[in-house]
DNA sequence: CGGGCAACGTTACATTGTAACGCTGCTGCG
DNA sequence: CGCAGCAGCGTTACAATGTAACGTTGCCCG
């Protein structure tokens, strides 16, 4: 049940709905709590395929939760990232919903400077190439991040 | 003339000296100016194999240049990065001297959470794997960043 | 010899991220 | 039941990182 490329039009409401349902299932299975607050933050992050900054999330969150403050958001984002439900896009200090939540995987993104969208690619071969490169340097890899920026098919 | 792994002891003074000389040569060849200020910033970044934050650089710079302010540092860093003399480590908002200055290449790092050092690996196969992954998604890659964090050989 | 530009100075501010402590409501146990 | 302990969240204040905007200086070239 893999996600279609974000650059092709699709029913994004379904993206969001499925991501939330999936997150709920995962959290239940793990015995951790996807509280309403966390769910709202996850939903906000998922609203688009463009990475959302913490303060962008905060602005949105405050529309339904006036008391929200930066720590509120950062805690929720930290939880969601720890559970593998979102990824942090390091080159943008921003967050994006994970398309393969539940399956441990490295973070690989194609970030379009034209439309701003970021597409997660879960490329096994790339992942393997990274593992090899790390091994070659006798480095114990724990977290692997790939961020490729450029132009997506539609923006070329 | 490749750099030894940073995790093995080496004459780091030589690292710095060579990096500066090389930078001068490159800038001369390109007709751009490695001004004293830029040279000082480059030297500061090169002082260790741990990525240096902009404000860390600022603190050091102020020891010899009291008037320095954030824009001073950011401009120099921007110049140095544009000329490929340093890399920005996105996951740390920090900068590190490039070991292959002059040769265009993607940014690939092994970042040790034990000692804080970051080692640049100029891995051709990894670079190729990224290119393939991007092509597969019909994405025009312009900038490729790989940041692998974990433990280096000495910290394991 | 002066117009134009790159580099740098300077001020002020914007954005992003955290420390620290308190409150509350649930949960598990005597 | 009654309450200790803890996760989650509220709240305040601040730290760290990054930039806009404009002024000044000195060099190069016409
Ligand atoms: Zn979608
Ligand atoms: Zn993912
Ligand atoms: Zn060295
Ligand atoms: Zn490099």
A75 touches strand D (CB under 7 A): yes
A76 touches strand D (CB under 7 A): yes
Is B136:B129 a contact under the CB 8 Å cutoff? Answer: no
d(CA A129, CA A1): 25
Of B128, B134, B148, the CB nearest to A134: B148
The predicted pLDDT at position A8 comes to 79
Burial class (CB in 10 A: 0-12, 13-18, 19+), B53: middle
d(CA A35, CA A32): 9
Burial class (CB in 10 A: 0-12, 13-18, 19+), A104: exposed
- Please give the nucleotide, over all strands, whose C1' is closest to the CA of residue B38: C7
Strands B94-97 and B86-89 come out as antiparallel
List, for chain B, all residue ranges whose pLDDT scores fall below the cut of 50. none
- Please give the nucleotide, over all strands, whose C1' is closest to the CA of residue B72: C8
Partner residues linked to A146 by β-bridges: A108, B146
The domain A12-150 having CATH identifier 1.10.10.10: the answer here is yes
Count how many Cα atoms sit within 13 Å of the Cα of residue A153 in the half-sphere of its side chain. Answer: 11
pLDDT tens, position by position, A31-43: 999 999 999 999 9
B150: contact with A, CB 8 A cutoff: yes
Is A94:A52 a contact under the CB 8 Å cutoff? Answer: yes
Rg over alpha carbons for chain A, rounded to the nearest Å, is: 16
Compute the distance from residue B140 Cα to the ligand 4 centre, in Å.
Answer: 21
pLDDT tens, position by position, A46-104: 999 999 999 999 999 999 999 999 999 999 999 999 999 999 999 999 999 999 999 98
The whole-number Å distance from B79's CA to C5's C1' is 17
A126 contact residues in B (CB cutoff 8 A): 129-130, 132-133
DSSP string over A25-66? HHHHHHT----HHHHHHHHHHHTSSS-EEHHHHHHHHHTT-T
The predicted pLDDT at position B2 comes to 57
d(CA A92, CA A52): 9
A131: contact with B, CB 8 A cutoff: no
Of A105, A138, A21, give the one whose Cα is nearest residue B150.
A138
The predicted pLDDT at position A2 comes to 56
Is A122:A82 a contact under the CB 8 Å cutoff? Answer: no
- Interface subset of B 88-117, CB within 8 angstroms of A: 90-91, 108, 110, 112-113
- Give the closest-approach CA distance of A111 to chain B in angstroms: 9
Among all ligands shown, which has an atom nearest to the Cα of A84? 2
User: Closest residue by Cα to the C1' atom of nucleotide C9?
Assistant: B67
Tokens of A101: 């939540």
Domain parsing of chain A, residue ranges: 12-150
The predicted pLDDT at position B13 comes to 95
The whole-number Å distance from A72's CA to D9's C1' is 7
Which residues, 6+ apart, have CB-to-CB distance to B142 below 8 Å? A113, A149, A150, A151
């Amino acid at each position: 049940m893999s996600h279609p490329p974000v650059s092709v039009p699709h029913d994004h409401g379904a993206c969001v709905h499925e991501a939330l349902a999936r997150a709920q299932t995962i959290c239940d299975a793990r015995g951790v709590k996807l509280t309403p607050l966390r769910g709202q933050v996850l939903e906000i992050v998922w609203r688009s395929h463009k990475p959302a900054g913490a303060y962008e999330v905060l602005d949105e969150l405050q529309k339904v939760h006036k008391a929200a403050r930066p720590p509120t958001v950062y805690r929720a984002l930290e939880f969601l990232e720890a559970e593998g439900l979102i990824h942090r896009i390091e080159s943008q200090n921003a967050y994006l919903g994970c398309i393969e939540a539940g399956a441990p995987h490295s973070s690989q993104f194609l970030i379009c400077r034209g439309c701003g969208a970021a597409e997660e690619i879960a490329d096994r071969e790339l992942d393997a190439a990274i593992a090899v490169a790390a091994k070659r340097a006798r480095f114990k890899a724990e977290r692997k991040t790939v961020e490729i920026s450029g132009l997506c098919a539609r923006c070329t």
